[in-house]
Amino acid sequence: MKFFADTAEIADIKELAATGLLDGVTTNPSLIAKSGRDFMEVTREICAIVDGPVSAEVVALDHEGMMREAEVLRKLADNVCIKVPLTIDGLKTCKALTGDGTMVNVTLCFSANQALLAAKAGASFISPFIGRHDDNGFDGMDLIRDIRLIYDNYNFQTEILAASIRHGVHVLECARIGADVMTAPPAVIKGLFKHVLTDKGIEGFLADWAKTGQTI
């Protein structure tokens, strides 16, 4: 499973990229606003740090406006992935862009039927929102299972990009089901390293090593 970081914070992206585990980055208008940086500037900087796809979201709601904004965004770097909402105009834009060789991430997916439409429109990625789905009384993992089944039934090449991931259990379940990608805040990704027995093991090894009086 590919790991994307869901953030626009450059320091966090650099830290995760240094581990060799980071395959891409997803951003959205809220994350850009939180960073306090210029949209174009920060997107260009992120694209220079990671080799994989960097999702940059359009804010227009009509097809023509989305296409105009996409034309600006895809000039920033070769690894820009245009992010569009799962609407009729969003999927029209998706079809036009992917037909021209541009990566497209269709976002705000909350049903398997929506995911089916996005795949038929040629989406590079579909972003089902697990945490938000849970918040509204549904099972986000059931959504991932349904999409995986449908995509496998018809051999769709659209990658399932599990989004709105809140904790490590979400990551584990997505990996079990077979999501192609997961995108999560840096804190969630860093949390995957943590285990009380790992910490205790390191503590014990260091204590025993100190008793030897040796150095390396």
Which residue type is seen at 172? L
Is 83 among the residues known to form the active site?
Answer: yes
**Burial category of 67 from C-beta neighbours within 10 Å (exposed 0-12, middle 13-18, buried 19 and up):** middle
Q: Which of 14, 83, 92, 190 is catalytic?
A: 83
DSSP secondary structure, 41-93, as one string = HHHHHHHHH-SS-EEEE----SHHHHHHHHHHHTTS-TTEEEEEESSHHHHHH
Q: How far apart are CA 94 and CA 122, in angstroms?
A: 7
**Which phi and psi (to 5°) does residue 56 adopt?**
-120, 125
**Own/partner long-range contacts of 113-119 (Cβ < 8 Å, ≥24 apart):** 114/86, 115/146, 115/147, 115/150, 115/151, 115/158, 115/160, 116/150, 117/86, 117/91, 118/86, 118/91, 118/94, 118/158, 119/150, 119/151, 119/154, 119/156, 119/157, 119/158
Q: Cite the active site residues.
A: 83
